[in-house]
A and B are shown apart, each in its own frame.
Chain A
Amino acid sequence: MLPLFILIPLTGVVLLNLPFAGALRKRAFALVVLLSAMQAAVVVVHPAGFWAETSLMDRFLALDLKAGQLSLVMLLSIGIALFAAAMVGHCTFRDDRQRSHFVSVLLISLIGMNGAVLVADLFSLYVFLEVTSVASFVLIAFNRDLRGLEGAFKYIVLSAVATVLMVSAVALLMMMAGGTGFGQVKAALEAGQGATLARLATGAFVCGLFIKGGLVPFHGWVLGAYSAAPAPASVLLAGIATKVTGVYGLVRLVVTVFPASETINQVLMLVGAVSIVVGALAALGQRDVKRLLAYSSISQVGYIVLGLGCGTPLGIAGAIFHLFNHSVFKSLLFVNAAALEGQLGTTEMDRMGGLGQKMPVTGVTSVIGVLSTAGVPPLSGFWSKLVIIVALWQAYHHAYAVIAVLFSLVTLAYLLVLQRKVFFGKTSDSLAGVREAPREVVAAALVLAGLTLGIGLLFPLLVHTFLLPMSGVF
């Protein structure tokens, strides 16, 4: 029943845009919330009949979808981030037509993300990454303001470069392997390892994924896209879309397609470390909440890539665990940013202060998100960062482990500055009329904060059900 992950959202897009679907359009966001909850539930409960290898659909559609451990983690992350984006979107868009259009593009983005994590073919992976990217262009520019259009345009240009690199790489790999299936390409690479063409193709594809993932030095589009997009789009982009289009692709290729290579590992660790450093240092000087969180995202994605580059099973497991945790706590922080933007009309920190008294739930959930991002125990971010650092240390990458630890402290510093400026202190008179965010946004924040806290507290139980199986992800 794997095709349902693509067919249900596709059906939703069609139904929403039928001429007499007015009643459906009014409840568009509720339907997305339901869909995302069902997706998360199906992964967690894991009914055997749903995940069977073959089904009735295979008689009509040759989709060749596969769902391993890594795909399950990604499907769960997608469900959680989509839920948060839909809850925020419900409060952001009041016009039925706008809602319908936004939800339609959101569902197309869901098709892209679900398809990307379920396919077992390089070309199909590229196609679904493009579906997600094209939907993201529209989401970023949705409000048609100058900043949004500029952010979308920068993303389009850099994404086009990534597309050229990825398609060229797929063509070269197809010439070598005679096909584009993961298994075929892996066998061809192992047989012809060291060949110039293989190195060129691998390098081109990895570069393309670095651009899509917003890693340094290809992160130029991230700031404009995250900060200028409408609030629910920012939640989706920062929470999961960029993780799927860039980071998931890297993890999947390193784990499933590319043979073990010290060169690739070194490049990944270097790019990861540089992203951690540049993202954290740039975040220090930011005055806008969303821009600060955008740089923080770049830095946190660096941790994921650093763990991946370690190359050991523990490092890869840590990377995937941090990918999941990051999608939860980053979605939480962007939900908080959406709450601030919705109530104040701005995300500039200099115009805030003492909001903890006026927006207590947003303030408390923000503290949880901040501490998890910085890797403070016992929250989820602490455990995933710890696993990555231990893996690096065990693999004798001491310098990278030290960088990871030091810049966790820098992360804590800039995020505490954010907390102090926004939520602590005396509320100024101009903010006297500010109230807590709408209940949908508060509910999303509470769910995400609950997950961040719960995963952290329950980690000793989850290590056997989640982390150790993840180390056998390949």
Chain B
Amino acid sequence: MTTDFVLLMAMVLAVMVTVMTARLLWSAIGLALASAVLAALMFRLNSPVAAVFELSVCAGLIPAIFISAIGLTSRLNPEALAKRWRHKLLKYGAMPVIVILVVWALWQLQVPLTFVAPPPAVEQDVRNVLWNQRHIDLLGQMSILAAGAFGVVVLIKGAKRE
């Protein structure tokens, strides 16, 4: 089995755990694992900067924020947890079967699951593009961060104050 195929399957497995588990903490950990594997795939595709962003932000910062938020909630009692497990299995029970069928179909169709990394284009270095060519997107990113910050202040801090 190729490394890429193993990584893809690991990512799919992590995503399934994220969706199917009844425990929020496991969901956050599954998200972190899926992002970490995706970062590894990006390294193999010759995109180290994108991989570093994926690893630091999506596999690090975002799950940390989720886990902090989960820490503010109270634990479900065993009956409620069992009910949620049943609900999740009912809703997503078919997912592993669908995934196996899709993988089998891709295998039969001989779809190549080994990535061919493109050669890095020096003149299109993402740092040059981001800082020198796409200032408008930087303004957009700042605005989204500001909107997110106000969302936290209004929705969470405001509720705590009340």
> Which A residues are closer than 8 A to B by beta carbons?
6-7, 10, 13, 61-65, 101, 104-105, 108, 111-112, 115, 119, 121, 123-124, 127-128, 130-131, 134-135, 137-138, 141-142, 144
> Which B residues are closer than 8 A to A by beta carbons?
132-137, 139-144, 146-148, 150-151, 153-155, 158-159, 162
Contacts of B159 in A (CB 8 A): 144
Contact A61 B150 (CB under 8 A): no
The docked-state distance in angstroms from the alpha carbon of A10 to that of B139 is 9
Pick the contact of A62 from B132, B151, B154 — CB < 8 Å? B132
Query: B154 — nearest CB in chain A belongs to which residue?
Result: A101
Chain B nearest Cβ from A289, distance in angstroms: 26
The docked-state distance in angstroms from the alpha carbon of A252 to that of B96 is 41
Contacts of A128 in B (CB 8 A): 140, 143
The docked-state distance in angstroms from the alpha carbon of A123 to that of B134 is 10
The docked-state distance in angstroms from the alpha carbon of A432 to that of B67 is 53
Contacts of B139 in A (CB 8 A): 6-7, 10, 63, 111, 115
A131-B135 contact in complex given A13-B146, A108-B146, A138-B154, C-beta closer than 8 Å: no
A119-B143 contact in complex given A101-B150, A105-B154, A137-B151, C-beta closer than 8 Å: no
A134-B147 contact in complex given A6-B139, A105-B154, C-beta closer than 8 Å: yes
A115-B133 contact in complex given A101-B154, A138-B150, C-beta closer than 8 Å: no
A105-B147 contact in complex given A63-B135, A128-B140, C-beta closer than 8 Å: yes
Query: A60 — nearest CB in chain B belongs to which residue?
Result: B135
A144-B158 contact in complex given A10-B142, A124-B140, A130-B144, C-beta closer than 8 Å: yes
21 A-B pairs within 8 Å (CB atoms) are namely A10-B143, A62-B133, A62-B135, A63-B135, A101-B150, A104-B146, A105-B147, A108-B147, A112-B143, A115-B136, A115-B143, A124-B134, A127-B136, A128-B143, A131-B144, A134-B144, A134-B147, A134-B148, A138-B147, A142-B154, A144-B154
The docked-state distance in angstroms from the alpha carbon of A134 to that of B134 is 21
Query: B133 — nearest CB in chain A belongs to which residue?
Result: A62
The docked-state distance in angstroms from the alpha carbon of A13 to that of B149 is 12
The docked-state distance in angstroms from the alpha carbon of A123 to that of B141 is 12
Contact B136 A105 (CB under 8 A): no
Contact B150 A104 (CB under 8 A): yes
Contacts of B137 in A (CB 8 A): 123-124, 127
Query: A65 — nearest CB in chain B belongs to which residue?
Result: B136
Interface of chain B: mostly helix, strand, loop or mixed:
helix
Interface of chain A: mostly helix, strand, loop or mixed:
helix
Contact B136 A135 (CB under 8 A): no
Chain B nearest Cβ from A310, distance in angstroms: 32
Chain A nearest Cβ from B3, distance in angstroms: 23
Contacts of B132 in A (CB 8 A): 62
Contact B147 A135 (CB under 8 A): yes
The docked-state distance in angstroms from the alpha carbon of A467 to that of B139 is 33
The docked-state distance in angstroms from the alpha carbon of A141 to that of B147 is 13
Contacts of A142 in B (CB 8 A): 154
Contacts of A108 in B (CB 8 A): 143, 146-147, 150
**Leading 10 A-B pairs by shortest Cβ distance:** A127-B140, A134-B147, A138-B151, A131-B143, A63-B136, A108-B147, A111-B143, A135-B147, A61-B135, A62-B135
Chain A nearest Cβ from B38, distance in angstroms: 14
Contact B136 A121 (CB under 8 A): yes
Contacts of B136 in A (CB 8 A): 62-65, 115, 119, 121, 124, 127
Query: A110 — nearest CB in chain B belongs to which residue?
Result: B143
Chain B nearest Cβ from A231, distance in angstroms: 16
Chain B nearest Cβ from A75, distance in angstroms: 16
The docked-state distance in angstroms from the alpha carbon of A424 to that of B148 is 44
The docked-state distance in angstroms from the alpha carbon of A121 to that of B136 is 10
Chain A nearest Cβ from B130, distance in angstroms: 12
The docked-state distance in angstroms from the alpha carbon of A119 to that of B140 is 11
Query: B162 — nearest CB in chain A belongs to which residue?
Result: A144
The docked-state distance in angstroms from the alpha carbon of A183 to that of B162 is 51
Chain A nearest Cβ from B88, distance in angstroms: 17
Query: A137 — nearest CB in chain B belongs to which residue?
Result: B151
Contacts of B142 in A (CB 8 A): 10
Contacts of B134 in A (CB 8 A): 62, 124
Chain A nearest Cβ from B131, distance in angstroms: 10
Chain B nearest Cβ from A362, distance in angstroms: 29
